[in-house]
Every structure is written in C-alpha cells, then in structure tokens.
Homo-oligomer: A and B are copies of this chain.
Amino acid sequence: MSLLTIGTMAFDDVETPFGKAEKIVGGACTYISYAASYFTNDINLSAVIGGDFPKSELETLKQKGVNLEGLEIKEDEKSFYWSGKYHMNMNSRDTLITDLNVLADFNPVLPESYKSSQYVMLGNLTPSIQASVLDQLDGTQKLIAMDTMNFWMDVAMEDLKKVIARVDLLIINDEEARQLSGEYAIVKAARVIKDMGVKYLIIKKGEHGALLFYDDHIFFAPAIPLADVFDPTGAGDTFAGGVLGYLAKTKDHSYANFKRSIIYGSAMASFCVEKFGVERLKELDQETIQARVREFYELVKFEI
C-alpha cells in the first residue's frame, strides 16, 4: 500500500571510533525510503535537494520503487549538510556542523497523487512543516507516523504538541521522550505522551532496543548485539522506514502485527549500522532480512 515518506535528504560527514566518511548520502527521508522499499514499492517521496545531490542515487531510489514526483530539486543551491562525530559508546554524538542550505525554506507541496497515500512517515522536520503536510492529505490515511527531535521541544514545543495530537504513531528516542514528557522513567513518560493524543508510541533506546506502547500493552524489541557497529547514522530513520514499510505491506494494525513491524524495523536498523551511510541498505534481499528477523526471534525466545 502507498507510503508517503517526507524528510531531509542530505550529505553527511560522519566520524566514528572506527572510521571517517565524507560527503556521503544521508538524510532521514533517504534512510526511511530505502528501508521501506523492501516492503512496498509504492513509496511517495517528498524532499528537497540541491543540484549537487548525486543523480545516481535518485536512479537507485527509483529502481527500488520510490516515486520522486514530489522531490524538489533546486539546481543552483546546495543540499542540506550535516557533520557529526560519535562517542565511543556509539549511542551519543556531537553535531559539528549543520548547514540547512536548501532546507532553509523547504515548503513541501504534495503532488495530487501523494495526497491519498495510505501510510505516512513524517521524518524529523520543523513541526510547522509537518503540520502543513498533514493539511494537504485527503483524510483517507490508514496510519500517520512521525519522528521529531529535542531541538523542536526547545524552540517550538506548542507547535510540536499540535502535530503529535494529529498523528497515530510517534517514534522517538528515550531522551526525546523524557524531554517531551518531563518524566524520567520511560513508563511514566509514555503515559504522559499518549495523553497528548497519540495512539501508538515507540520509544527507541539505540543499542538497547525499542519499546512499543500499544493500548495497555508494552512490547520490548531487543537490538541484536553486534560485534561491529560501523556507523549508527540513520539507524533510527531506517527503523521507522522498516516499521512503516511493514505496516503498509501488511495493512494490519493488530498488536501482534505491530510487534512484528518493530522487529522488522529493528532488523533493518541492524543492517544500517554495518556500513557507512545507506550502503548496506542498498544491497539487501528478502532472504537476508528474514534470516535477521529469525535472529531476533531466537535472541529473546524462552519457555516458562
């Protein structure tokens, strides 16, 4: 089923304890779209890039079933650029440089064909932009999900809360959940956030897995303990892309299926970190993904 993916497409400079890569293709929308493409080939991408963004990357996305009609290309400008350095624990990082470039006045106008996308993944963007995307939708959506970040809680909390109240699923990390709710304990934070009007909540904990809050249920999805985490950049977006892609494919919002979607999202994220940027996400196949999902199953399976 159709999935609208919206967010940044960027160049990243990434430094980890294990290496350094410059001007690699990144951005939330890129990671989300690649991850989701393994589950649905009806993806409507909305983003803005400069003339410097590699055309070959766009071709690869097209080949994976990503519709680029909603991609705005500003030929004379530069793409969004982010530079960051990871700490030894790989769970925290410092942002060194953020050059908005084309993103500074990003004002997504959805093509007609996008407005009835049945699933929506709003990547991390200014809450007012996320709201303007919601305004353009035709109201027939089956599930709308969003990401955000601490920065918007600092500078646009009220706008952010209004967007949250309009979506079905919020996907954030533990630190963001704490700041958003004002509660330290994740269970309490989840209660406060669900009271903001969001139906389902996923709280990501990086290498420590992710929690799904669904009605009165809590589901914990582990992360695979990896010997080599090469580059965590985009892992959260890849996770979201996997979750939304799987839900769009299965069209089943039951608790059991939501749990599966998170395992698939976690599996995609576990591939993402194995190489710099989106490289690993380009070369996967269904068999490899299934085998990884099976690893998650075996990792936590026990009988009582």
A: residues with CB less than 8 A from B are 17, 88-89, 184-188, 205, 208-209, 211, 217-222, 225-229, 256, 259-260, 263, 293-294, 297-300, 302-304
* Shortest beta-carbon distance from A85 to chain B in Å: 16
Beyond A219-B302, A221-B300: 8 further Cβ-contacts under 8 Å? A17-B184, A88-B184, A185-B227, A186-B225, A209-B209, A211-B225, A220-B225, A260-B304
CA distance A205 to B219 in the complex (A): 18
By secondary structure, the A interface counts as: mixed
Name which of A88, A220, A303 has the most chain B CB atoms within 10 A of its CB.
A220
CA distance A303 to B264 in the complex (A): 12
Residue of chain B at shortest CB distance from A295: B218
Residue of chain B at shortest CB distance from A213: B225
Inter-chain contact A218/B304, CB cutoff 8 Å: no
Inter-chain contact A229/B185, CB cutoff 8 Å: yes
Inter-chain contact B260/A187, CB cutoff 8 Å: no
Residue of chain B at shortest CB distance from A222: B220
CA distance A17 to B183 in the complex (A): 13
Partner of A227, one of B187, B227, B229, B299: B187
Inter-chain contact A299/B263, CB cutoff 8 Å: no
Name which of A219, A222, A225 has the most chain B CB atoms within 10 A of its CB.
A225
